[in-house]
Amino acid sequence: MIPIQQHRDRILAAATELPTERVPLADALGLVLAEQVVSRFAVPLFDNSAMDGYAVRRADAAEGARLRVVADVPAGSALDPALGAGEAARIMTGAPVPSDADAIVPLEATDLGTAISTAPPEWIIVTAEPKPGAHIRHAAEDSPAGTVTVEAGTKLGAWQLSAIASAGHDTVAVVRRPRVAVISTGSELVAPSATPGRGQIPESNSVLLGAALRDAGALVTHTLTVPDDEDELRRVLETATADSDAVVLSGGASVGAFDVVKAVLGPLASVDFDAVAMQPGKPQGFGTAASGALLFCLPGNPVSVAVSFEMFVRPALRAMAGHADIDRPLITRTAGASWTTPPNRTQVLPVVFNDQIAQPASAGGSGSHLVSSLADAEGFAIVPADIERVAEGDAVTVMVLS
């Protein structure tokens, strides 16, 4: 058996960052920015009103002053009306402040209040004198043109994307989203909606992997299920590797008579199969196809797939997508129950936890077939290989999965 770290190091050495591409902002969520974004514009772009009200010459706008309304400036208007002594322009939030005005009197600070009509009134009386510059949002007060809006290497979320749009860009250069194919192997697998005959089970690994891949920011290129037939697997692999950066296979990785993945890929010099010292998820294969696509060969048991994905596949895909943080957060909790662990293998156990304790998600404990326990799990307890039993009250490390 090889340690988890050895298998992970081998994978991460091969998981090199993907090339960059330019994409519309709508397609960039979650991707890593590949170049500095510099704003084309000042933010705000021009002096504009922060309130619905009246643009005034402050010297004329003492409390009780009666001002003649000579213009109307809605948002989006290019008007710059001249304001003479005792004159005001009605103005809406976001509209450009007339060059002659130096303060905004909000609707509430006039005799007419907020009872607004389509046409501006002829006269208003100021009921509260504005301070100098009141309610004017000045050009460039957030950032001048030419400012770095978002640094290269940043993961793009909703806030970064909106800042980039405000800076005048509708596309961004990003590290390409990994393209990943999923292949489930096993002659026992039928569609979840089918009525399984004797020996058959619903196929669930591709559902788990497809969702986990999308959640990790990957694009799923193919979702294929093949029986335990070597020729068919070879054909499917050709399709899957042709246009993918990685292929994640499940099942057939062990020593059984019909373990097709090992039979087809095992002989290749570019793929290694090993027993990794973890439970579940012991039989693992990893390597590269002739196309350069990474090949992850995971054991078929559903909990093994979930664990293998988190320990090996997800970190690799995050590295390929240019993320600096490739791992899930780890926290420490107190064991809320006692449980046994396998000898000489790191245990990765689905758990539920709160702010104090963690305990197994399944009453059945640690079995790689306990797929229903995954529905409740909030994390994986990671128990080192040299610990034989976790006693209630022990400190445990938990990988947080949400």
Ligand X SMILES: Nc1nc2c(c(=O)[nH]1)N[C@H]1C(S)=C(S)[C@@H](COP(=O)(O)OP(=O)(O)OC[C@H]3O[C@@H](n4cnc5c(N)ncnc54)[C@H](O)[C@@H]3O)O[C@H]1N2
Residue 323 found at the interface with ligand MOO (CB under 6 A): no
- In angstroms, what is the C-alpha Rg of the chain? 31
Looking at beta carbons only, is 205 or 244 nearer to ligand X?
A: 205
- Within 355-394, the residues that bind ligand X by CB under 6 A are 368
> Do 366 and 346 meet the contact criterion of CB atoms below 8 Å apart?
no
Instruction: Tell me, residue by residue from 98 to 137, as one string, x for binding to ligand X by CB under 6 A and - for no binding.
Output: ----------------------------------------
Q: Which residues pair with 381 in a beta bridge?
A: 349, 398
> Do 335 and 359 meet the contact criterion of CB atoms below 8 Å apart?
yes
Residue 280 found at the interface with ligand MOO (CB under 6 A): yes
Tokens 């590949």 appear where? 34
Count of CB atoms situated within 10 Å of the CB of 394 = 13
| Options 39, 48, 149, 184; binder of ligand X; rule CB under 6 A | 184
| Options 44, 106, 283, 315; binder of ligand X; rule CB under 6 A | 283
Looking at beta carbons only, is 53 or 281 nearer to ligand MOO?
A: 281
The residues, ordered by sequence, that sit 6+ positions from 381 with a Cβ below 8 Å of its Cβ are 335, 347, 348, 349, 351, 358, 360, 390, 396, 397, 398
- Within 295-324, the residues that bind ligand X by CB under 6 A are 299-302, 304
- Within 247-266, the residues that bind ligand X by CB under 6 A are 250-256, 259
* Residue 165 vs residues 16, 159, 160, 301, 380: alpha-carbon distances, Å: 30, 10, 9, 45, 39
Stretch that binds ligand MOO, among 58-66, 70-78, 168-176, 298-306 (CB under 6 A): 298-306
Stretch that binds ligand X, among 65-73, 170-178, 199-207, 384-392 (CB under 6 A): 199-207
Least CB distance from residue 293 to ligand MOO, whole Å?
24
Burial class for 14, CB neighbours closer than 10 Å (0-12, 13-18, 19+): middle
Residues in contact with ligand X by CB under 6 A are 184, 186, 188-189, 201, 203-205, 250-256, 259, 280, 282-283, 299-302, 304, 368
Residues in contact with ligand MOO by CB under 6 A are 279-282, 299, 301, 304, 368
